[in-house]
Structure 1
Amino acid sequence: MKSILVIGIGRFGLHLATRIAELGNEVMIVDKDEEKITDLLPFVTHAKIGDCMDEKLLQSLGVSNFDICFVCIGDNFQASLEITSLLKDLGAKYVVSKADRAIHEKFLLRNGADEVIHPERDVALRAARKYGARNVFDYFELTDDFSILEIGVPDSWVGKNIKRVNVRSRYNVNIIAIKLDGRTIPVTSAEHVFEQSEHLIIGGNTKDCSKMMHIK
């Protein structure tokens, strides 16, 4: 269980705080809007109404006690920048700040953010991969270099086992699991025979995984 501070309860902050709390973590939320805070009270551990550009307010939160501090302010970049900087000055262990533009990321990182996330960009990229590529059912880019894809079984693989297709050596990816009838089954044997009705969960270098989208 982690202790999480979420500053700014817009659409992203709301979903983030709710999901992190559902995963069993202690979550404190802060926002100027009392109504937004009230709506989330049943789901989070602590809540405070106030403007986090006020250094005294941030001091009162004890930010150094949180494992992660999220700055989820999307409509006021100056506020996001100042709060990010103040959090680090006050001893925050790890600060993750939301950015809407690439130029914002550079300034946030220079002013104390340990990590910057782009929710809309990331969702758009995932959607593009999922809906714009043949035979792809889901896509997760874990880092710039490593991705996980859910793809259909290529027609040329049906009836053959993993060893015969020589997946790892030929395509430089790993088959992590098989999805069949709503179940996800870890792959533990190279003797598994591919079926047309299956989906494959594969992982590897992003460029290598991208090539898998075009195999027939």
Structure 2
Amino acid sequence: MHKGDDTVSNRKQFVVIGLGRFGGSICKELVKIGHEVLVMDKDEQQIQEFSNIATHAVVANSTDESTLRSLGVRNFDFVVVAIGDNIQESILTTLLLKEMGLKNIWVKAKNDYHHKVLEKIGADHIIHPEKDMGRRIAQQMSDEKVIDFIELSDEYSIVELFATPKLETKSLIDLDIRARYGVTILAVKNKENIDISPEPTYVIERGDLLIVIGHNKDIKRFEDQAM
């Protein structure tokens, strides 16, 4: 079975419960990064598919406490509960994990009701993959300047914006973006490289991609007035 690269620093151990599209993609990415991943699912066919991808792949019922204990899930750094349509199973699994004392439990929520229950029983992080992706796509469709969008909270975001001709040949110090608009340019990407925390003397060129953080209203004002 795949064991990953032993030279990877900060290697962590993850349990992924539920191998649907979401759980499967998380498993593949974690293994690709170099972490150890134990995957669990009741579907034998799903487990067979991941037996050569994950560090360990087990056919198991996650609502059975003795099974969770026998697999040693308490020794893992993170558990991702990615159970798809069965809300009851997701809730029971999360509750068992909390009762066993696990500290980093990330759970996929199907809807707002599911989210509220997970919140009450102490899930450490609740994920809405469809809703989160929907917001990003809506932002990109509604604003042609937005290349990508990450919502940090209801009020703050990180956006990627292509520099318009209005900004070309001007330096960051000339534009004085933070003082004028209250947003910060975290980085500038061009064809050659990415400049993290660019110097105030950086001159914006055609095709530069600006990575901007700030309050949503300030970002919108920056787009409307400066771009």
Shorter-normalised TM range: over 0.9
Gaps of 5+ in 2: 1-10
Match of 2:102 in 1: 92
Structure 1 runs, 4 residues or longer, greater than 4 Å off? none
Take 1:129 and 1:152, find their aligned partners in 2: how far apart are those partners?
15
- Once the two structures are TM-superposed, the CA of residue 57 in structure 1 deviates from its matched residue by 1.0
Gaps of 5+ in 1: none
RMSD of the TM alignment (CA)? 1.6
The verdict on how the C-alpha distance between 1:43 and 1:152 changes in structure 2, with shifts beyond 3 A counting, is: same
| Percent identity (aligned) | 37
Match of 1:130 in 2: 140
Which residues in structure 2 correspond to 1:4-23 (within 5 Å)?
A: 4-23=14-33
Q: Contact 2:188–2:198 (CA<8 Å) still a contact in 1?
A: no
Match of 1:105 in 2: 115
Q: Bigger CA drift: 58-67 or 1-10?
A: 58-67
Q: Which amino acid aligns with 1:195?
A: E
Q: Bigger CA drift: 16-25 or 147-156?
A: 147-156
Take 1:127 and 1:5, find their aligned partners in 2: how far apart are those partners?
29
2:32 is the alignment partner of 1:28: no
- Once the two structures are TM-superposed, the CA of residue 145 in structure 1 deviates from its matched residue by 4.3
Q: Taking structure 2 as the reference length, what is the TM-score of the superposition?
A: 0.89
Match of 1:73 in 2: 83
Q: Contact 2:108–2:129 (CA<8 Å) still a contact in 1?
A: yes
The verdict on how the C-alpha distance between 1:97 and 1:170 changes in structure 2, with shifts beyond 3 A counting, is: same
Q: Contact 1:64–1:93 (CA<8 Å) still a contact in 2?
A: no
Aligned residues: 216
Q: Deviations over 1:112-147 (max 9, x none)?
A: 311110000000101111222131111122344442
Secondary structure at the aligned position of 2:39 is classed as: strand
Take 1:106 and 1:207, find their aligned partners in 2: how far apart are those partners?
29
Q: Contact 2:103–2:124 (CA<8 Å) still a contact in 1?
A: no
Q: Contact 1:8–1:71 (CA<8 Å) still a contact in 2?
A: yes
- Which residue of 35, 45, 57 corresponds with 1:47? 57
Match of 1:171 in 2: 181
Take 2:40 and 2:222, find their aligned partners in 1: how far apart are those partners?
44
2:211 is the alignment partner of 1:201: yes
Take 1:208 and 1:103, find their aligned partners in 2: how far apart are those partners?
33
Take 2:179 and 2:187, find their aligned partners in 1: how far apart are those partners?
18
